[in-house]
Each structure stands twice: as structure tokens, then as C-alpha cells.
Amino acid sequence: MDKVIFIVCDGLGDRPIAELNRKTPLEAAYTPNLDKLAKGGISGAMNTIDIGIKPGSDTAHLSLLGYDPNTYYTGRGPFETSGIGMEMKVGDVCFRANMGTIDRDLIVIDRRAGRIDDTSEFANLFNNTAIDGVTFLLKKGTGHRVGLIMRGKGLSANISDADPHKLGVKLLEVKPCDDTKEAKFTAKILNKFIRISFLKLKDLPSNKKREKENKLPANCFLIRGAGMFPKIPSFKEKYGLRAVGIAGAGLYKGIAKILGMDTPNIKGATGKPDSNLNAKIEKVIELFDQYDFFFVHFKAADTLGEDGDYQGKIKYIEKIDRAIKPLLDFKDTLVVVTADHSTPCYLKSHSADDVPVTIYGKHVRDDDVDRFNERECAKGRLGHIKGLNLMPIIIDLMGLAELFGA
Amino acid sequence: MDKVIFIVCDGLGDRPIAELNRKTPLEAAYTPNLDKLAKGGISGAMNTIDIGIKPGSDTAHLSLLGYDPNTYYTGRGPFETSGIGMEMKVGDVCFRANMGTIDRDLIVIDRRAGRIDDTSEFANLFNNTAIDGVTFLLKKGTGHRVGLIMRGKGLSANISDADPHKLGVKLLEVKPCDDTKEAKFTAKILNKFIRISFLKLKDLPSNKKREKENKLPANCFLIRGAGMFPKIPSFKEKYGLRAVGIAGAGLYKGIAKILGMDTPNIKGATGKPDSNLNAKIEKVIELFDQYDFFFVHFKAADTLGEDGDYQGKIKYIEKIDRAIKPLLDFKDTLVVVTADHSTPCYLKSHSADDVPVTIYGKHVRDDDVDRFNERECAKGRLGHIKGLNLMPIIIDLMGLAELFGA
């Protein structure tokens, strides 16, 4: 059975850029190795969710890995709490939060409490807080971030954010987004938690000390992205494959963990343009005998697109190209390269433009495409597919598809 | 934010014509400006409803504008009554009608009462007629046409036509098309209206006068196309865009009005081959600052297809091409050109053959297509899409798509 190396280049797709003679960064980049994959593989254009639908990174990854986000996605929270290693149960309502700074009138002064770099004291202080039968579980995330879980009966994730997502406005009251008693109850309890935590945080000795040192106090949890931890079959249950997630950024580790993948630490994998991409491929090589499916995530093309930095995006793509060179020599392996969505430098945000996809392998029907980019892959033999089509195609190429009929 | 000029050439698509060396009229026409749009844009082949489904102009337009006709289309009536400026309420059952001529045995002698050109006397006579709690509202349409609305409680649009759609047969009794009491009630009341109106019309002095002048009397309403006025979000509500409909023919104005678009009168816009197409583009230019979305409708390719007049269709297409030339110079604008359906000259009716579609704009991923026609656009990078895909693609190109996920 072939193994699968499944590479997702976050935000890789783009739109024509005048300064690049109407090429995209991927079209302008020098990518001899990606092109060899395209030349030896089958290519297509893919809408990871659907035509005209602008994907989030979370929903797009679920879809790429064969999990319908309409079924399994209820919000960002569970992927973030998973990413920092919290243990969740079905029915938990999970959130992402920042430690932020508010004033006496609850006006948000800073959304990162002066870029505080360790939130463990605050997370630990409120971990296991119980309010009206609901337990709050907290754990520090990277930098100013905290993961937060509400555990108890009768909860709902259909509630609004407390985080106003901007400065100079009041912290928001959490509101139910539907008429159910669960949403009303969850909003009420979460508002209580926010009040109680503010009263404690504002007078905390370490915050008094921060103020004396002219630092902004971390006196508020800016809570957002409620999501119910779903009942979701693991990758192993769904496909029978031993899978590993090779990612630097928390969200992608979180997705991998939720699907039951192992998520080893990768030295130098930062999720930023300076990330050690070679280390990810070396980790694939190191673990090659232990797994069947390697989900490899490269983050920074997305970040650079959101910065509108098309030159940086070209350089980062060329760095990906160099990093994946060893994969060309792998035997009995399907190498899949694609993206979760486009992040056009012109828009500085995600877009619904389709992304290129190539599946390379000895037994794959190759086509006439010999460059891996948006324009050329769209001419490929896979045609136009959806994200949810990709895993069934891969499973079938592996010879593992279930027979429909007899 | 880019503005959008959305051009629908009714019935544009066709099939190979032997006399044109197996080209379609669009392939045979000289269309340098449409071709420039294709060259600078992204193209595809589109089934406005679905593959193999023959669209009506009404259902196709709903779909093109992003409104699923399976949800919003209940019959032609509301679009016709809207087109002649009648005010409707949710729950109204709307019809199109002709003033026709029947004999004493109710046999249809003429479906247009000798092409009578003003129906206002007849519409006014029966306007506000009340029967068993249902009010009939009537207004003259163009030529022999009348708009008719039934307003009241417990009505249904699921009833058959009174108009037999041919000559020499008896006026039909309206029948319920399902077992609901609403359909039975609506059919009963409408039959009463038809009886009462015939008794009055046959003895009307103006009809007696017509008979003396050897003209056919307008003694019957030939009623058809029942449709319930739907609860439908306006274009502004759905997309947040200020939209205007630039059309000559009533149906298309009606569709635009139902979606809350403004529908200015266009001088010389007749909906016929002689229509002043330049005036439509001039109106777009005149109103450019006032709107975000311009729905421009060109009617006559459909009519010429239904006449089997492929030479006329070629000439009309070339007239469209000249008219749209100024759009090539627009800045920060997406120009979309497509059709609602094919009307092959060979069939002399609509068909389910896909239609070409091109989206032109500075930030659009162009492709290798350099001619706007059925054959070449089908090779384009949009691939094969459905009518309901088009608006989401446009909204995403404008950077306005909602994120699914985070």
C-alpha cells in the first residue's frame, strides 16, 4: 500500500498581480520541484468548501481531510484548545481567549495586555472554577493566548463573543444567538465568569506590579470563537490509516489532534516565514515507517498574503519548493500538494478563488500539466473538484476504497 | 469596491447551424469587444438551472441573480404583474392574461382580440372586483395584455390555466392542481370571475362598437401563469448592493422590481431587435455613481432564435458587441456577460444547452480564452458552473464574501 504525504500550503492561491506581469506569486516563483510533481501527477483546480464560498483555515482543513465542516464545524474554539494540548470531551464548549487590558469602564485598552508572553498564572488561577454546575478549564496558550473550556450539562456554542475585536469600545456582553435555553444559560454563565474574573484580576498582585512597572495589566479574558467539541471519528476510524500531523502553528496541530493524529514537536517549526520547513520534511523521513499518512502544513504563504507581501510570498514558495525536493525520490508514495484557500495579496484576506492541487505517484494517471500553479493546474485532468472529493480520490488511488455495489 | 455590470443576453446560446459551417450565430458573429472581455477575463460554460434542465427566462434570471428558483419561483404571474408596475403583497396570487375573443360556446376565436392595443377600459372595469372575500386587482399591460392579482386569505397558486393556449378549443375551466382546500377555493373563485366578466364583457358598448367595425370583441380574459408573490429578500438585503435593472421588456423589469432594484425607463428600449442598446449602456454610465450593481438585459437574441432567424441573431449579437464597447474602458469594474439560456434557431425554443459566461476585471484570474462564444468559453478556467454559483463568485471577486469558519 502506498503511503501518503499530504502537503497543505496555507493561503497559497492568489490573484494576478500587475507588478508580476499579471502572474500570481506561485506562477512567478521558481519551483522546479513542485513542477516535477505536477508533471508526474494528476492536477486540478479545487474549491475546498464550494464554488464562491470563502473558506476559513479551520473549515477548509476539515474538508480537505474528508470531514464535512457543515457537520463537524461549530466554531474555532475546539481547534485552538486542542492545539495547546487541552483534553476535551464531546459537549464541551471551547473558546480562544486573549489576556487583554480593560479600564474601569470596561473599555478595551489593549487586546494583548502589552503583548504579555506568559499567561500561565492567570490560566491556573481560574482553572477548575465552577459556576452553577459548569466547570471552567483554562490553559495558557502561546504568548498572550489562553484556551478556555466550559464543561457541564445543557451548554450551547451558539453564543456571541465577549471580545469586541477592536480597541476603545466596551467589552461585550455575551448573548445567546438563538432562543434555546442552552444558549441563554451558556451566555449567562460565561458573563458571570467574565465579571468574577475581572474583579479578581484587577487587584491581583502581579497586575499591581505590572502597573508599577508601567506595563498594561492582564485584567480581562477576551473570549471568542465558541465551538462545541464534536463527536468526530478519528482518522484511523474513518480511513484505517495511522496518521501524523507535522505542523508548527497551533490551529493545525489542533485539527490534527482532534482527528486523533499524533503531533510531534518539530524543531524550528514556528508557523512563520522563518519556519524550518526542511525540519518538517526530515520529520516525515524520520517517521516514515511508523505512519501511513503524513499531513504536512506550511503556514506562512497565508500570512504573507494577508500582509500583501507578494515578494515575500514568492520567496516563501521557493523555500517550500526546496524543502520538498527529497519527496521526489520516495517510492510507493503518493505526494499530494494543495492549499486550504487563496489569500490574494490584493485582498489581504482569504478568498473563494480555487486552489491548485496535484497528486503525484507512480500509479497515478498523469496529465499534460507540467507546472504547479493556479493557471496550469486548472487545465489538469482532475478537473474542478471540491475539497471533500480529495480524500476519496486518495483512498481510491491507494486501492482502499469501499466498493459500492458488487 | 469594484462595481458590477451584469449583462444578460437573453437566449444567446445556440447549436451548430449547417448554413454557418456548423457555427452558432455567436461563433459566426464579429464580436471584437466581447472577445476582449473574454481575453481579459475568466470564462466558463454555465447551466443556469442545472445540467439538462431547460430554463424559463424567469427561473433562469432568478438563478443568475442568486435566488434559487426552487425556493422563489411559483409561477410566471408575479414577474409580469411586477413588470407593469402593480404593487403586490406576500400571499397574492398573480397572473398574466390576454384580452381574447371567444364565441357563444366559449370557443377561443382569437388569443389577442384582434391585437387590441389598449386594455385599460377592461382592466379598470374589473379592478377591485370582490368575490367571496377575494379582491381582484387588474391593470393594463402592453398591447392586448392585462395583469391580474387575486388578494385574500386562503389562496393557492397551484391551479391550472383558463387559457387553452390555442385556437378553436373551449376556454378551460380552472382546476386545482392539488387536493388542498386553498387550491380548490382559488380555482372556484377564479372560475366565477371568468363567468361574471364574460357576461359583462360580451355586452359592453365598446365591444358592440368593435363588432360593428368588424373588429373582434375583447370579451374574455385568457388567464394563465398563476404564481404566489413570494417572500423574497431584496438584492440590497441579500448582498448589501445598490442595484438597478436596465431592461426594456416587462418580465425583466418585473424581476428587477421584485428584487427591489430601481428600474428607470430607457428611451428606445423596446425588448425587440430594433431596441436602442446604446441607450442602455449610456444609462449605466449616467447612473454609475448611484449604484453598485447594474443588471443590463438585452432581449432580442431570444426572439430571433424563436423565429429561427440565425442571420438576424448574428446581426443582433454584433449590435450588442458595438453597444458594450465603452465598458472596456471602465476602471474598478467587473463586467459579466452571459445568457439566461440557449434558444437554438433549429429548435425555435429554449434548450438546456449551457451558455457562455465571462467575468472581466483587473483582479480576475484570466485564462487562455480569447473569444466569447459557446465553444471557446467552455474551455475556460471557470469550468462548468451552475447559475446559482455565479453571484457567489462575483461577490467573492468584490472581496465581500462572508467567511465560513475562521
Give yes or no for residue B142 having a pLDDT over 90. Answer: no
Region A80-102: what's the mean pLDDT?
A: 95
Report the alpha-carbon distance of residue B115 to residue B129 in Å, rounded.
25
Q: What is the pLDDT of residue A249?
A: 87
State residue A13's pLDDT score: 98
Nearest CA in chain A to B405: A56
> Residue for cell digits 484511523?
A236
* Residue/partner pairs of B163-166 with CB below 8 Å, 24 or more apart: B163/B97, B163/B98, B163/B100, B163/B111, B163/B222, B163/B223, B163/B224, B164/B108, B165/B111, B165/B224, B166/B108
Model confidence band, residue A271 (pLDDT cutoffs 50, 70, 90): confident
Could you tell me which of A236, A264, A295, A257 has the C-alpha nearest to residue A88? A257
Cα–Cα nearest to A146, from A97, A192, A107: A97
Residue with cell 449602456: B281
Crossing angle of the two packed helices B57-64 and B387-397, in degrees rounded to 10: 30
Q: Report whether pLDDT(B250) > 90.
A: no
Q: Which residues of A touch B389 (CB under 8 A)?
A: 51-52
Q: Residue B369 corresponds to which cell in the numbers above?
A: 480564452
Please tell me the distance from the alpha carbon of residue B32 to that of residue A341, in angstroms, as a whole number.
Answer: 35
Asked if A55 has any chain B CB less than 8 Å from its own CB, the reply is: yes
Residues of chain A positioned with their CB less than 8 A from the CB of B405: 55-60, 69, 73, 76
Q: What percent of chain B has pLDDT over 90?
A: 97
| pLDDT of B1 strictly over 90 | no
Q: Which three cell numbers, joined as nine digits, stand for A373?
A: 500553479
Number of H helices and E strands in chain B, helices first, is 15, 14
Provide the b/e sequence for B196-224 (b: ≥16 CB within 10 Å): ebbeebbebeebeebeeeeebbbbbbbbb
Integer Cα distance of A94 and A82 in angstroms: 9
pLDDT at A270 exceeding the cut of 90? no
Vertex B397 angle, CA B394 and B402, to 5°:
85
- Of chain A, the end-to-end C-alpha distance in Å amounts to 23
pLDDT score for B249:
87
Phi, psi of A304, rounded to the nearest 5 degrees: -70, -35
What is the pLDDT, as a whole number, of residue B270?
A: 85
Mean pLDDT of chain A, nearest integer: 96
ipTM of the predicted structure?
A: 0.91
Grade residue B363 by pLDDT with cuts at 50, 70 and 90.
very high
Helix (H) or strand (E) holding A145: strand A145-151
Integer Cα distance of B318 and B313 in angstroms: 9
The answer, for B385 touching chain A at a CB cutoff of 8 Å, is yes
- Asked whether the beta carbons of residue A53 and residue B401 sit closer than 8 angstroms, the reply is yes
Instruction: State how far the Cα of A148 lies from the Cα of A170, in Å rounded to an integer.
Output: 21
Grid coordinates standing for A282? 526530515
Span B340-347, average pLDDT: 98
Is the model's pLDDT at A403 over the cut of 90? yes
- Indicate the angle between helix axes A310-323 and A277-286, nearest 10 degrees: 20
B250-253: long-range contacts at Cβ-Cβ below 8 A with a sequence spacing of 24 or more?
B250/B80, B250/B83, B250/B84, B250/B141, B250/B142, B251/B57, B251/B58, B251/B76, B251/B79, B251/B80, B251/B83, B252/B8, B252/B10, B252/B57, B252/B61, B252/B83, B252/B297, B252/B299, B253/B82, B253/B83
Which among B362, B385, B404 is the nearest to A56, CB-wise?
B404
Contact in structure between B406 and B400 (CB atoms under 8 Å):
no
- Report the length, in residues, of chain A: 406
Distance of alpha carbon B10 from alpha carbon B319, whole angstroms:
14
> Nearest-CA neighbor of B222 among B328, B103, B99?
B99
Mean of pLDDT values over B229-234: 95
Do the beta carbons of residue B69 and residue B59 sit within 8 Å? yes
Tell me the HSE value of B79 on the side-chain side, using a 13 A CA sphere. 22
The predicted structure's pLDDT at residue B271: 84
A287 interfacial to chain B (CB closer than 8 Å): no
Taking only residues 82 to 101 of chain A, the set having a beta carbon closer than 8 angstroms to any beta carbon of chain B reads none
* Count of CA atoms in the C-beta half-sphere (13 A) of A384: 19
Option in A52, A76, A383 nearest B392 (CB): A52
pLDDT given for residue B62 in this prediction: 98
Rounded CA separation A91/A228 (Å)? 6
Nearest to B344 by CA among B20, B119, B4, B1: B20
Contacts of B39 in chain A (CB under 8 A): none
Whether A385 shows a pLDDT value over 90: the answer reads yes
Q: Strand A220-228 and strand B3-9: pairing?
A: unpaired
Find, in chain A, the residue whose alpha carbon is nearest to that of B366. A16
Label residue A378 by pLDDT band (50, 70, 90): very high
Contact A55 B363 (CB under 8 A): no
The answer to whether the beta carbons of residues B299 and B250 sit under 8 Å apart is no
In this predicted model, what pLDDT tens digit does every residue of A307-343 receive, in sequence order?
999 999 999 999 999 999 999 999 999 999 999 999 9
Give φ, ψ of B17 to 5 degrees.
Answer: -120, 120
Q: How far apart are CA A283 and CA A256, in angstroms?
A: 16
From A15, A58, A353, residue closest to B406, measured CB to CB = A58
Q: Residue B200: its pLDDT value, please?
A: 96
Q: Which of A24, A349, A384 sits opposite B383 (nearest CB)?
A: A384
Chain B touched by A225 (CB under 8 Å): yes
Cβ separation of B406 and A225 shorter than 8 Å? Answer: yes
Distance separating alpha carbons of residues A61 and B161, to the nearest angstrom: 52
Instruction: Report the pLDDT averaged over residues A59-84.
Output: 96
Say what the pTM is. 0.93
Domains recognised in chain B with CATH numbers: 3-72+233-397 (3.40.720.10), 80-228 (no CATH)
For B18-76, how does the pLDDT look when each residue is reduced to its tens digit (9 = 90+)? 999 999 999 999 999 999 999 999 999 999 999 999 999 999 999 999 999 999 998 99
Q: For chains A and B, what is the number of CB pairs under 8 angstroms?
A: 77
Q: What is the mean pLDDT of residues B338-342?
A: 98
